[in-house]
Amino acid sequence: MKILALLGSPRKDGNTRAVLDMILESADAAGAITEVIELSELKNLTGCMECYGCQATGDEPGCVVQDDMQPILAKAMDADVIVWASPVFCWAPSWLIKMAMDRFFCMFKFEEGLEDPKCLLAGRKMAAVITAGGGEDDGADSVQETCRRLAQYSKTEWLGAFIAAKVESPDAIRTDKGLAERATAFGRKLVS
* Structural domain count, the chain: 1
Q: Which amino acid is at 17?
A: R
Cα(146)–Cα(133) distance, integer angstroms: 19
Residue of 119, 38, 123, 120 whose CA lies nearest to 80 = 123
Is the pLDDT at 36 greater than 80? The verdict is yes
Residue of 15, 42, 16 whose CA lies nearest to 103 = 42
Is the pLDDT at 114 greater than 80? The verdict is no
For 37-48, the pLDDT digits (tens) are 999 999 999 999
The torsion angles phi and psi of 126, rounded to 5 degrees, stand at -135, 150
According to the model, what pLDDT value does residue 10 have?
92
According to the model, what pLDDT value does residue 115 have?
79
116 pLDDT band, cuts 50/70/90, is: confident
Q: Provide the domain limits for residue 44.
A: 2-191
Residues above pLDDT 70, as percent of the chain: 99
Q: Which residues pair with 118 in a beta bridge?
A: 109
CATH number at residue 113: 3.40.50.360
Q: Which amino acid is at 129?
A: V
Cα(145)–Cα(76) distance, integer angstroms: 21
For 50-83, the pLDDT digits (tens) are 999 999 998 999 999 999 999 999 999 999 999 9
108 pLDDT band, cuts 50/70/90, is: very high
pTM as predicted: 0.95
According to the model, what pLDDT value does residue 102 have?
96
Query: How large is the average pLDDT for residues 174-187?
Result: 95
